[in-house]
Amino acid sequence: MNQDIKQNTNATSTAANHSVEHVAEKAHDHSHGDGDSKRWIDKEWLMAIISFILLGVGLILDFLIKPEWFSGAIRFVWYAVAYIPVGLPVVWRGIKLIFKGEVFTEFLLMGIATIGAFYIGEYPEGVAVMLFYAVGELFQGAAVNRAKRSIKALLDVRPDKAIVLRNGQYTEVDPTAVKVDETVQIKVGERVPLDGVMLTEGSSFNTAALTGESKPTSIDKGETVLAGMINEEKVVELKVTKLFNDSSLARILTLVQNAQGRKAKTELFIRKFARVYTPIVVFLAVGLTLLPYFFVEEYDFNQWLYRALIFLVISCPCALVVAIPLGYFGGIGAGSRNGILFKGSSYLDRMTRVDTVVMDKTGTLTKGVFKVQKVVSKGLEEKDWLPLVAAIERQSTHPIAKAVVDHVGDQAAANVTNLEEIKGHGLKGTVNGKEVLAGNGKLLTKFSIPLDDELATVVDTVVVVAVDKKLAGFITIADEIKEDAKSAIQQMHALNIKTVMLSGDKQAVVDNVAKTLGIDEAYGDLLPENKVEKVEAIKKGKPEALAFVGDGINDAPVLAISDVGIAMGGLGSDAAIETADVVIQTDQPSKIVTAIKIGKRTNAVVWQNIGFAFGVKIIVMGLGAWGVASMWEAVFADVGVALLAILNAVRIQRMRF
């Protein structure tokens, strides 16, 4: 991932890019392992420490002890040696970039300013500027690594081995070599290498890498297990359903790696600004040195050169071109830590403008799992007819039948004979000698069994049951609403966000869910193309930004036309996840609000940095041009402001949403 970021920064060829690239390279060095990281820290900090010691001793000799021998060539050589460890790498980098045709970089600014300070005899200030700049770079690298921590944690979960069953024996292979339908074994404490279906009776899995949730998830036989999960209970076997590169984990890593390629408008503006800004300040510095000759009676070249050098140090765009991208990267990292993947910093910006959220119902606001809501007895006691209907429903694979069986549990009667499925109506069978009908109202009408008037008022899906030609009762079944759906809608309303729900379910069901959750508008009986038409109609009302949230393959077209497409990624379809701009890995509606808050906080921090950096630089530039500010104030305006802006950007990581 760090390499991808570095490639992205190289592509733009601006002063801003070089600053980001320089920090990214250092962060990249860290990623090679503890040994390389330690060597990098030792080398960079050792150079800074040597320079600091030599500068400190020089200042003591200059201003406290004041020996006669510490003057002339000896004094120059002393400070030159102090300058080389921190200054030479920066100057050399600037020279190399000049040969590449990229003249106006921050490295050129720092080189001119510090060498100029030596020219006019301000040796300590020349060393100090470069030393603080080098230390600032070290802290910038550390800040980048901190901001990347949440995302780098994802890279660390990539399994490097898979134990696959071949020729009756388990063999350890690379996960990329495993084929679909092969069986893999996962021991306790190991990461799942590929997506698959559980063949073992069940186990508990840590899903934090994929969902951000630390609570273990129980997965039973026949259910899906995703790559990156950690097996916590017992040795299990999975039947592989996707190749390694197509797994959920690989898809998430790809999204994260590509995230920095989609830049926010603010970030792109700063980069364009830096490309124009840097040469302008160089020419202004030249003008500040030479033009006073024509207007000042007692012109002192060294005095005006010193002011110009201060101006150059202050003008370095470090705070802007490092802290601003880092702010957005921090927002992406904060999202990752909360189970939300932003596919780029541009979508963080878009989230700040969202004032209308349109949501699919099934799988987004509801679990997509049918559950018995109510059992109503009419002609028989519940205990006499409910086990009978569960017995025949057990023979069906329909989700509604499964809901009935799950509700009844072990009470279901046995000995089912003459089972018959009547298409579009339901089931008929004999259970323990009794004829049982279970289905919709049409089924009972077909057998001339009168229906109860109460059935006409039921909104949910209904399974009507008759035993021996008499109405026994009915069962209402509905898709279960997600636990945090209502609070998510309330939080959106608190942010003055309009909520709309779209669904293919009948309007009565949609209205019932909307009323329960407090949704502003709800539309049912929609085909996929109707959803597109409805979203386009809402957009004609000119909301500032419209976000659509969905999870199914039929939601992909709507996700594509929305200002921000948000996919429920945990159980969502590949098409929805690939089309969306933001992916919520936990399938929680409340994360929609979290994503909006992260976008707003990130945007606020970025503009705080812009305002702070520009404000301080303009003030100190003016003071420097008039001879009021010294090189020490210039160091604060450059490196100090950059560090404060970076710390402000990293603060996003600590925020609670």
Query: Within its chain, how far is the Cα of 616 from the centroid?
Result: 32
Distance from C-alpha of 358 to C-alpha of 522, rounded to nearest angstrom: 9
Q: Which tens digits make up the pLDDT trace of 259-314?
A: 444 445 555 565 666 677 778 878 888 898 899 988 888 888 888 888 888 777 77
Q: Classify domain 345-365+482-580 at the CATH superfamily level.
A: HAD superfamily/HAD-like (3.40.50.1000)
Distance from C-alpha of 552 to C-alpha of 515, rounded to nearest angstrom: 23
Nearest to 106 by CA among 146, 139, 137, 144: 137
Distance from C-alpha of 600 to C-alpha of 361, rounded to nearest angstrom: 26
Which pLDDT score, from 0 to 100, does residue 36 have?
46
Out of 301-305, 443-447, 636-640, 647-651, least confident range: 636-640
Question: By the 8 A CB rule, do 252 and 157 touch?
Answer: no
Distance from C-alpha of 246 to C-alpha of 488, rounded to nearest angstrom: 32
Distance from C-alpha of 330 to C-alpha of 149, rounded to nearest angstrom: 9
Out of 241-255, 443-457, 485-499, least confident range: 241-255
The reply to whether 345-365+482-580 and 368-481 are identical in fold is no
- Look up residue 45 and give its two tokens: 């900090």
Per-residue confidence at 13, pLDDT binned at 50, 70, 90? very low
Distance from C-alpha of 8 to C-alpha of 19, rounded to nearest angstrom: 13
Architecture per CATH, domain 368-481, reads as 3-Layer(aba) Sandwich (3.40)
Which pLDDT score, from 0 to 100, does residue 229 have?
82
Out of 151-155, 470-474, 547-551, least confident range: 151-155
Which pLDDT score, from 0 to 100, does residue 73 have?
92
Catalytic-residue membership of 360: yes
Hey, CA dihedral for 217, 222, 226, 227, is it positive or negative? positive
Question: By the 8 A CB rule, do 5 and 260 touch?
Answer: yes
Work out the average pLDDT over 575-602: 86
Work out the average pLDDT over 41-67: 88
Which pLDDT score, from 0 to 100, does residue 426 have?
85
Question: What percent of the chain is predicted at pLDDT more than 70?
Answer: 81
Work out the average pLDDT over 634-643: 74
Work out the average pLDDT over 30-36: 41
Per-residue confidence at 142, pLDDT binned at 50, 70, 90? low
Name the phi and psi angles at 257, rounded to 5: -65, -35
Q: Please tell me what DSSP assigns to residue 163.
A: E
The tally of CA atoms less than 13 A away on the side-chain side of residue 498 is 14
Which pLDDT score, from 0 to 100, does residue 576 have?
62
Question: By the 8 A CB rule, do 236 and 273 touch?
Answer: no
Distance from C-alpha of 592 to C-alpha of 492, rounded to nearest angstrom: 9
Query: Within its chain, how far is the Cα of 289 from the centroid?
Result: 48
Which pLDDT score, from 0 to 100, does residue 253 have?
58
Which residue has better confidence, 94 or 81? Answer: 81
Per-residue confidence at 366, pLDDT binned at 50, 70, 90? confident
Q: Determine which one of 195, 349, 360, 555 is catalytic.
A: 360
Residue 645 belongs to what H/E stretch? helix 641-654
Nearest to 155 by CA among 287, 38, 250: 250
Which pLDDT score, from 0 to 100, does residue 508 have?
80
With a cut of 80, say whether residue 347 has pLDDT above it. Answer: yes
Distance from C-alpha of 430 to C-alpha of 313, rounded to nearest angstrom: 91
With a cut of 50, say whether residue 570 has pLDDT above it. Answer: yes
Q: What is the pTM of this model?
A: 0.63
With a cut of 90, say whether residue 522 has pLDDT above it. Answer: yes
Give Dmax over CA atoms of the chain in angstroms: 120
With a cut of 90, say whether residue 578 has pLDDT above it. Answer: no
Out of 98-107, 252-261, 484-493, 538-547, least confident range: 252-261
Sequence spans of domains, the chain: 2-154+256-335+599-654, 345-365+482-580, 368-481
Q: To 10 degrees, what angle do helices 34-60 and 15-30 make?
A: 120
